[in-house]
Structure 1
């Protein structure tokens, strides 16, 4: 199935009920399970990733298929390593290509026993859950922050606690901070000094918790307003003072004339004049999930850019740098990778590359569909393959676009 996307409106107005934060939901699910919380989690994300993790944590089975959900794979691997029993965790074909060796090695050092069932260093895994004993682990800080978060969440329940020494540049540090701040809300004390994080053995305290709206989901509405001539969008339940690192984008978008105002029940986005930078230079080391949003925005507005801090994009749902290069070429943009973890464009449209009605591949990656769709605001008509991939994080996205004037037609 494909969706054909177009938009005939330049003045945007709407009220959007954003999805709850997937990042917060998944972490709180693990923490609540670790402390046997009797309280339901309010406003839990209805994304595919969260549903998969919720189902696994509330299952009486010993085998779990988490599909494309990378967060669930990593968080469950650490969680099950300390739950006595024999477990198997598998996933999609893409998931079976995503390395997990660093996390498995770390857990095995703590006393776990985890085996690879097919390909070395990748899922599926057989996990023999057991009592874990803490120590100091040295980890590369430039790896996926989800490995680090997975270890941190079980750290208070490990004998003698756990200390992580992170080497090199820390990627997605905002997500590590999110994990620690959520643990703190459930009663956990920790120390983070320079590149060393120490979590003593201690008890989580169960508590009621309400998940806030998702800032990654909000980024597409900032993108839409940046592409529009003017307008206002109210994003319900969003907080400018947020636990989520992606809240930083509110400042980024001011150079596009999009301003944010905190209201009682959400954030009001407004744009009254068209402005844009001559060139956009951003470091995504703390915010890799909004890289696709910004790349599509720049191509749609023909703004040269140079992005850094993108090393983890190659191990996401797909190789996102490769995917962006392939799909934005269909709009005439020849993106380059100056160095590993960088992405750049000179702002020049190459007519020999441009397709009349591009068909955008999503590569099983929700953020490809979510980031490309707003480009219709500037007059593009295009098709998106496998559009329901958005259910991974934003199930109601297409309906929300229709409410502000997007035309979305199902095609074969």
Structure 2
């Protein structure tokens, strides 16, 4: 797909049907596949990550290529470890640079048979599945929550269940709680037994007839950003709930500091301008790392200095998001500073912006979606490789068009 340039409308008054939660979809798919009785999963996402997971679980080929889907890589590594047969699990070149050793070591401690096909600690993997008899394992709590969730979800399939101890600080706790909630919805007995200990009983999943997947709060963040940057806006987002298990539902209270009011009505939210903005924003994104790009772009364009911590996991995402944000924000005229590999800040320092800023997306869907609304405040913003949004929000550009944005393909 050619690079695109966006021209915003003067005002926005629209209703947008967001994609369903990718986090919930992929967990529900794995849990359902492990269930003795399968549920009908309603409102599944049609994004790349979910389609990859569906295809892998349905077809179970000898070689499973998950492309750029990091969640699928982690969840399937655990899932294949408890399923009969031998499979090769691989992905894109970037995926083969993303570490997975901590998860593999934990699974091996439970008795899994996993071999690195190329580089130690990284995909591709060769996995021979069988029922695992060991029950106790420990791993650091400050690693990706997807490692922890991958282990928890296979717990009911282990011969003696799972007793998982997390050492040190625990990051992304809301995603662990999301996994536990979904497991219990499918009949598992799983939960916290201490501040850093989790237990899963060796009782098979028993799914109900149907499970409905709610809309994605991560995707909603880009519409919050648009509302914050627009002079006048009202945006209705169906399928979002006040009592959501998604950690990124925190976006509503965070954007209240940036001038966006959230009203909850009949399983939907309505965003509008409040006119109340903070003079500086400091926040620890340890539990919501996927929101970081949205808030970096929004705060800078609103001229609100910020200091965001808890970002250490950004370095092992689809790209090194810390480095990517620093590089691309400089094209817009903002000088960001990184500290200790986990903090990103902007103190108001500016540089000369590019006359025609071309935003590189680094095969990262969130770079494209977070930077696109910059066109509201800056002219001639171009998004390179815009097709990357298919990873989580394939209809993003169509939804922007529906809201009144003009999207022009560049030569």
Q: Indicate the TM-score class for this superposition, using the shorter chain for normalisation.
A: over 0.9
The aligned counterpart of 1:13 is: 13
The aligned counterpart of 2:288 is: 287
The residue correspondences of 1:138-153 to structure 2 (distance < 5 A) are 138-153=138-153
The aligned counterpart of 1:319 is: 320
Deviation at 1:60, TM superposition (A): 4.4
The aligned counterpart of 2:371 is: 372
In structure 2, distance between residues paired with 1:124 and 1:325: 30
Structure 1 consecutive aligned stretches of length 4 or more whose deviation exceeds 6 Å: none
The residue correspondences of 1:160-239 to structure 2 (distance < 5 A) are 160-192=160-192, 193-207=194-208, 208-239=210-241
Deviation at 1:141, TM superposition (A): 0.6
Structure 1 residues 256 and 323: CA distance shift in structure 2, 3 A = same
Deviation at 1:361, TM superposition (A): 0.7
CA offsets, 1:160-203, max 9 Å, x none? 11111111111111111100000011111223120111112112
Name the stretch that deviates more: 97-106 or 2-11: 2-11
- 8 Å CA contact retained: 2:26, 2:72: yes
CA offsets, 1:97-141, max 9 Å, x none? 001001111111111110011111100000011120132211111
- 8 Å CA contact retained: 1:86, 1:128: yes
User: What is the root-mean-square deviation in Å for CA atoms of aligned residues?
Assistant: 1.2
Structure 1 residues 277 and 112: CA distance shift in structure 2, 3 A = same
Deviation at 1:340, TM superposition (A): 2.0
In structure 2, distance between residues paired with 1:145 and 1:37: 27
The aligned counterpart of 1:339 is: 340
Name the stretch that deviates more: 187-196 or 47-56: 187-196
In structure 1, distance between residues paired with 2:275 and 2:3: 29
The aligned counterpart of 2:27 is: 27
Q: State the secondary structure of the residue aligned to 2:61.
A: coil
- 8 Å CA contact retained: 1:2, 1:384: no
Deviation at 1:377, TM superposition (A): 1.2
The aligned counterpart of 2:257 is: 255
Deviation at 1:349, TM superposition (A): 1.7
Task: Give the TM-score taking structure 2 as reference length.
Answer: 0.97
Residue segments in structure 2 that go unaligned for 5+ positions in a row: none
- 8 Å CA contact retained: 2:41, 2:213: yes
The aligned counterpart of 1:404 is: 403
- 8 Å CA contact retained: 1:302, 1:348: no
Q: State the secondary structure of the residue aligned to 2:338.
A: coil
Q: State the secondary structure of the residue aligned to 2:171.
A: coil
Name the stretch that deviates more: 359-368 or 184-193: 184-193
Deviation at 1:265, TM superposition (A): 4.1
In structure 2, distance between residues paired with 1:202 and 1:339: 43
In structure 1, distance between residues paired with 2:76 and 2:339: 36
In structure 1, distance between residues paired with 2:278 and 2:11: 21
The aligned counterpart of 2:279 is: 278
- 8 Å CA contact retained: 1:7, 1:379: no
CA offsets, 1:341-377, max 9 Å, x none? 11011112212xx101111111110000010001111
Residue segments in structure 1 that go unaligned for 5+ positions in a row: none
Name the stretch that deviates more: 22-31 or 166-175: 166-175
Task: Give the TM-score taking structure 1 as reference length.
Answer: 0.97
- 8 Å CA contact retained: 2:110, 2:136: no
- 8 Å CA contact retained: 2:5, 2:409: no
- 8 Å CA contact retained: 1:161, 1:201: yes
- 8 Å CA contact retained: 2:131, 2:157: no
